[in-house]
Amino acid sequence: MADSKELTSSCFCGRSTYTFSVPTSSLPLDLRLCSCDISRRTSGTLFTSYITVPAGNPEPDLSTLTAYESSSILTRHFCSTCGTHMFLEYRADEHFEVASGTLQLESTDGIVDYKDHIWIEDTLDGGASQFVTHINDKCLSRYLRKAGESEQIPVEWNHPSRPPASETEFKKEEGYTAVELRNYIYAHCHCRGVGMYIWVPNHELATSPYPDLLIPFNLPDAEEKRQNHEDVKWFGQSRKQYKDNAYMQPTRHLAGLCACKSCRRASGFEITAWAFVPTSCITLDGGSNVGFQRKPFWPDMTTLKEYRSSEATTRAFCGTCGATVFCDVDRGEQKDGPWGGIIDVAVGLFASKSGTRAENMLAWWPNRVSFAEEALNKGLVKGLEEGMRAWAERNKGEDYVAVMEGPEWEKDNPMVQKRVGGSE
Ligand SMILES: [Zn+2]
Ligand SMILES: [Zn+2]
Ligand SMILES: [Zn+2]
């Protein structure tokens, strides 16, 4: 039919595919970015978006998928093998929505149009809605709860119950260890089958090459630069000078957004949010007795499933609710020792008192969305990059805005954003 467009959705491993058609007259399709607790905790990312399947299309085949009833009205369906979120099912009228990152297209520009942010209320701090305010020069509406029916709120909105920053900052008292001070954030998926403790940085022994977030892999000289021969602790941010000036201690883990094809296909959503955490800062218990375990990841955590998405990348997701949990990239470093290098942890799982950006433990890199050139929707990723830079400008000097330190960066990298008027 000339007056309809066929769209195909697929999970990463290809065991689930679905083709449906939408009337050409409905293009571009209006999409909303949902920041609700359930979206974040079932996806591991900071917002999700779905495309409504119009009536008259065939029912999707759910046989290779796991169903998760995430609320009294919705069931989420994700691939049992690779974890990709495929569908949202409204049980009342049995209509389906398709996760927008699963579309098998080179680009969704002109096919979808991101209109608004919904359920910002759940984020406490505005979440990722503060990172994207405009797309294609159009301002996104910002709803506290449902679109059209709830209050619209400004960019700088904070939940009235969000504690002041001073109350969420981790204590650093001399003579006490991080364990004694309980300096951690609990991170968990929606069903709570996966849960772990992320501790304040302790990077002294970890070592890792640079990720694409900091050294874009497609730059001509990236291969050599990203090796990080100087052993810059790029993952430890906001170094505070200790009282006696003896050494600098990082206070935050680096976090950033990724638009790569592999993350998108594994999660089902366009943009994923990662914290780069040394595995020495992750434990299974709040007493810090059960350290991180790789290969397999914590076999006692029975809902955690692994999927090898490339030769160098192992991903982990919750087999009950589908949440993306880890992306473990082999960047060529030594990971088998007791310190184990770095692992990417899905930020949507962090349950921080300060809100979903977890600014009391994370510093966000505002100068690039990782693999922006692989984005499915150029408008969205451009809006994010511009929005993150504007966010960094508004919050200049705050510890949760990441800056790069190290000899290479200070000298000649145009991406370096030097701290101005900072708190140090
Ligand atoms: Zn699959
Ligand atoms: Zn789960
Ligand atoms: Zn990625």
CATH number, domain at 129? 2.170.150.70
Neighbours of ion ligand 1 (CB under 5 A): 11, 13, 15, 79, 81-82
> Is 420 contained in some domain?
no
Neighbours of 294 (CB within 10 A): 16
> Is 156 contained in some domain?
no
Domain match, 315 and 377 both: yes
Cα(371) to ligand 2 centroid in Å equals 27
> Is 217 contained in some domain?
yes
**Whole domain around residue 295: which residue ranges?**
181-412
* Residue 152 DSSP one-character state: B
**So what's the pLDDT on residue 240?**
59
Neighbours of 20 (CB within 10 A): 20
> Is 173 contained in some domain?
no
**So what's the pLDDT on residue 204?**
64
pTM of the model: 0.93
> Is 169 contained in some domain?
no
- DSSP string over 230-281: T---TTEESPEEPTTSS-EE--EEEEEEE--HHHHHHHSSS-EEEEEEEGGG
Q: Which ligand has an atom closest to residue 301 CA?
A: 2
Q: Which ligand has an atom closest to residue 83 CA?
A: 1
Q: Between the CA atoms of 67, 71, 72 and 73, what dihedral angle is there, to the nearest 10 degrees? A: -70
Domain match, 208 and 348 both: yes
**So what's the pLDDT on residue 220?**
85
Cα(411) to ligand 1 centroid in Å equals 44
Cα(258) to ligand 3 centroid in Å equals 5
Domain boundary, last residue among 142, 161, 190: 142
Q: How far apart are the first and last CA of the chain?
A: 63
Cα(42) to ligand 2 centroid in Å equals 7
* Residue 24 DSSP one-character state: G
Q: How many structural domains are present in the chain?
A: 2
Cα(319) to ligand 2 centroid in Å equals 7
Domain match, 191 and 323 both: yes
Tokens of 308: 């090898």
Cα(344) to ligand 3 centroid in Å equals 10
CB-CB contact of 159 with 352 (8 Å): no
Give how far Cα 141 sits from Cα of 25, 61, 117, 262, Å. Answer: 23, 34, 6, 29
Domain match, 132 and 28 both: yes
Cα(145) to ligand 2 centroid in Å equals 24
Domain match, 26 and 121 both: yes
Domain boundary, last residue among 93, 114, 142: 142
Cα(263) to ligand 3 centroid in Å equals 4
Cα(187) to ligand 3 centroid in Å equals 20
**So what's the pLDDT on residue 415?**
41
Q: Tell me the pLDDT of the chain (424 aa) as tens digits.
A: 569 999 999 999 999 999 999 999 999 999 999 999 999 999 999 999 999 999 999 999 999 999 999 999 999 999 999 999 999 999 999 899 999 999 999 999 999 999 999 999 999 999 999 999 999 999 999 999 999 999 999 999 999 999 998 999 998 787 888 888 999 999 999 999 999 999 998 766 788 889 999 999 888 888 888 888 888 888 988 765 544 444 567 889 999 999 999 999 999 999 999 999 999 999 999 888 898 888 888 888 889 999 999 998 999 999 999 999 999 988 777 666 555 789 999 999 999 999 999 999 999 999 999 999 999 999 999 999 999 999 999 999 899 999 876 544 444 444 443 333 333 3
> Is 405 contained in some domain?
yes
**So what's the pLDDT on residue 223?**
87
Cα(195) to ligand 3 centroid in Å equals 22
> Is 155 contained in some domain?
no
> Is 153 contained in some domain?
no
Domain match, 339 and 207 both: yes
Q: Angle 95-101-102 (CA atoms, 0-180°, nearest 5)?
A: 70
Phi then psi dihedrals of residue 290, to 5 deg = -105, 100
Cα(117) to ligand 1 centroid in Å equals 28
